[in-house]
Structure 1
Amino acid sequence: MSVYAGLDVSLNSTSICIVDADGAIVREWKVDTESEALSLAFEPYRATITRIGLEAGPFSQHLYSTLAEAGLPVICVEARHMAQALRAQTLNKTDRNDARGIAQMMRVGLFKTVHIKTDLSQRLNVLLRARKILKSKLLDIEADLRGVLKNFGLKVGKVTPKTFELRIRELAAFDPLIGAIVDPVLVARRTMREQYDRLHTLLLQVVRDDPVCRRLMTMPGVGAVVALTYRVAIDVPQRFAKSRTVGAHVGLTPKRYQSGEIDWTGRISKAGDPAVRTALYEAAQVLLTRIARPSSLRSWAMRLAKRRGRKKAIVALARKMGSVLHRMWIDGIDFQWEARPI
């Protein structure tokens, strides 16, 4: 007899529900949110279990990998899609009822799977996020220091990262108390800048040693950060049957609503990973405004900008760049500056 399981994972415990092929509940219980405890919980059902549903979340990558390595048929499902299905239930929202709903969705096959990144991509993603956090905090500190000094009519003006601290100390010297307050903030900024530089150097080293990133960087406008962000987000290019679907995956395609006589197209969906969407948009801006060397891709974007405006052209170029980068990765070729004959 085939059975199906649903997991509702929380920080400390996980609700498990197992149902049979007719939808009848076989067993319900809770275990600790630990990979060993979950693997042990399904041991009695190893021969009969067909699917185990696990919602995408903070623990999903670790738990999925552990259950898959144990030989269990685990599936990571899209959380927003599953939330819509669970909302249709007339039951109260509890961990127990959510586990029941996920188990029933596994039984009827009503779910949308989520790609679990490879081990390498998960580690590279940590590097990108750590670098981004330090950069964000550095910018916040610098902006706050500028704002503090403006209250006293002092303007920092244009400075480089290296001359910023000297300029702040020079302006704060007008008052001993302000100087004493600013000093520890500047020391913290200097330390954060040093650690940020370490992470950025590590990122450049990773990109230099990665053949995929080096190939992606042959496209104009694509630097080390954009290439690594794209590589981590796509992870396994073979999971996209067509290159043009990458744009929809990262949220760069327009929304559409159609019902009866109503049919309208809106702004981009902004679905998927915002980091890769932002990276592609920035790369498109660079290609359109800073790259002087002519290319078929830039010429296409320039023609579109004349017809539809610069902002829409940049979004369309970002979407097209995502598709071209995918094709370069799949075919193993560098960027072609001129259009190839068909």
Structure 2
Amino acid sequence: MTCIETRHAKAALIAMLNKTDRNDAKGIAQMMRTGWFRAVHVKSEGAQTLRALLVGRKALLGKVLDMENMIRGLLRPFGLKVGEISVGRFDARVREIMAGKKELEVIVTPLLDARGAMRLQLAKLQRLALAAARSDNAVRRMMTVPGVGALVALTFRATVDDPARFRKSSNVGAHFGLTPRRYQSGQTDRIGGISKCGDELTRAMLYEAAIAILTRIPKNFKLRLWGLRLARKKGLKRAATAVARALAVLLHKIWIDGTTFRFGAGGKRGRVAAAA
């Protein structure tokens, strides 16, 4: 069975005057006959399971944060401010500031209980993700790159699934939409922002890892130094996007080579720190 790329198929079928199921079937058959289609990779069951874990964790984290922000908003009209507080002390802080307000306690206490239950389930998913990272050799090797945590490596692992489907590591950045769009027609030749095609979650994780490399990692290495030079010229956001693209290439290279990150190694002009 061959699965075809949906956007490519839509662009081909949109030329038909009348969109019907019969015309769609004819158009797809014509695409298959002429070979004018783009096959997509069907992920393995293991990759889909890992993906479900990561998406579920992200969704639950979002709900927990929404609940905490809602509790803060409910208390604010009464002049009660939670302030900056750690996750573990949030519940105690809220109960402390609303002590003595019986009517308010009746409303907010069930919300705190729901928030606590969600935090417990989120911790379970977090432990599952960390266990999956420890049990995967490729993920452990990716985590040797500074700034790449377990969630970043797991997300990259689940999305790529099979590293052999990329002939070149340099193609991975384009697959995740981290390369610029280009429009050329006659005398017009315009290079725009990144394409943002591919998996949004992986792209966001790579971007977060790039920000960590540029702003939080104290030890210098060639990828970070290249990103810092670019940030001084183009700004932090553009530099982080470029570092994220280079990071995707580096992680794929580490995966297929079976190597680990080594400080001091670097590719051409020091753009990408190499594996060793």
The alignment's TM-score, normalised by the length of structure 1, stands at: 0.76
Q: What is the CA–CA distance in structure 2 between the aligned matches of 1:162 and 1:314, rounded to whole Å?
A: 31
Number of residues of Structure 1 aligned to a counterpart in Structure 2: 268
- Identical-pair percentage: 50
Q: What is the CA–CA distance in structure 2 between the aligned matches of 1:120 and 1:299, rounded to whole Å?
A: 36
User: In the alignment, which of 232, 245, 253 is matched to residue 319 of structure 1?
Assistant: 245
Which secondary structure state, in structure 2, belongs to the residue aligned with residue 103 of structure 1? helix
User: In the alignment, which of 86, 90, 96 is matched to residue 17 of structure 2?
Assistant: 90
Q: What is the CA–CA distance in structure 2 between the aligned matches of 1:117 and 1:341, rounded to whole Å?
A: 31
Q: What is the CA–CA distance in structure 1 between the aligned matches of 2:178 and 2:164, rounded to whole Å?
A: 20
Which secondary structure state, in structure 1, belongs to the residue aligned with residue 2 of structure 2? strand
Distance 1:297 1:172, change over 3 A: same
Q: How much does 1:341 deviate?
A: 8.5
1:295–1:338 CA contact under 8 A, matched in 2 = yes
2:222–2:266 CA contact under 8 A, matched in 1 = no
Write out per-residue CA displacement over residues 52-100 of structure 1, whole angstroms, 9 at most, x where no aligned residue: xxxxxxxxxxxxxxxxxxxxxx210111111111111111x33343223
Write out per-residue CA displacement over residues 113-166 of structure 1, whole angstroms, 9 at most, x where no aligned residue: 111111210111111111111101001101111111112222110111111111
Higher helix share: 2
When Rg is computed on C-alpha atoms for both structures, the one with the higher figure is: 1
Q: What is the CA–CA distance in structure 2 between the aligned matches of 1:227 and 1:112, rounded to whole Å?
A: 27
Which secondary structure state, in structure 2, belongs to the residue aligned with residue 158 of structure 1? coil
Write out per-residue CA displacement over residues 186-245 of structure 1, whole angstroms, 9 at most, x where no aligned residue: 111111110110110011011011100000000000000001001111111111111111
Write the letter of the residue equivalent to 2:211.
Answer: Q
In the alignment, which residue of structure 1 is the partner of 2:8? 81
Q: What is the CA–CA distance in structure 2 between the aligned matches of 1:232 and 1:196, rounded to whole Å?
A: 20
Indicate whether 1:172 and 2:98 are aligned: yes
Runs of 4+ residues over 4 Å off in structure 1:
none
User: In the alignment, which of 185, 190, 199 is matched to residue 125 of structure 2?
Assistant: 199
Aligned counterparts, 1:1-342, within 5 A: 74-91=1-18, 93-339=19-265
Q: What is the CA–CA distance in structure 2 between the aligned matches of 1:119 and 1:333, rounded to whole Å?
A: 26
Write the letter of the residue equivalent to 1:335.
Answer: F
Which secondary structure state, in structure 2, belongs to the residue aligned with residue 183 of structure 1? helix
Q: What is the CA–CA distance in structure 2 between the aligned matches of 1:87 and 1:267, rounded to whole Å?
A: 26
Write the letter of the residue equivalent to 1:142.
Answer: E
2:143–2:153 CA contact under 8 A, matched in 1 = yes
Write out per-residue CA displacement over residues 2-26 of structure 1, whole angstroms, 9 at most, x where no aligned residue: xxxxxxxxxxxxxxxxxxxxxxxxx
Which secondary structure state, in structure 2, belongs to the residue aligned with residue 104 of structure 1? helix
Higher strand share: 1
Which secondary structure state, in structure 1, belongs to the residue aligned with residue 78 of structure 2? coil
Q: How much does 1:307 deviate?
A: 2.0
Q: What is the CA–CA distance in structure 2 between the aligned matches of 1:132 and 1:95, rounded to whole Å?
A: 37
Query: Which deviates more from structure 2 when the two are superposed, residues 236-245 or residues 102-111?
Result: 102-111
2:2–2:39 CA contact under 8 A, matched in 1 = yes
Write the letter of the residue equivalent to 2:38.
Answer: K
Q: How much does 1:340 deviate?
A: 5.2
Q: How much does 1:111 deviate?
A: 1.1
Distance 1:198 1:97, change over 3 A: same
Which secondary structure state, in structure 1, belongs to the residue aligned with residue 192 of structure 2? strand
Q: What is the CA–CA distance in structure 2 between the aligned matches of 1:139 and 1:286, rounded to whole Å?
A: 22
> Structure 2: which 5+ runs fail to align?
269-276
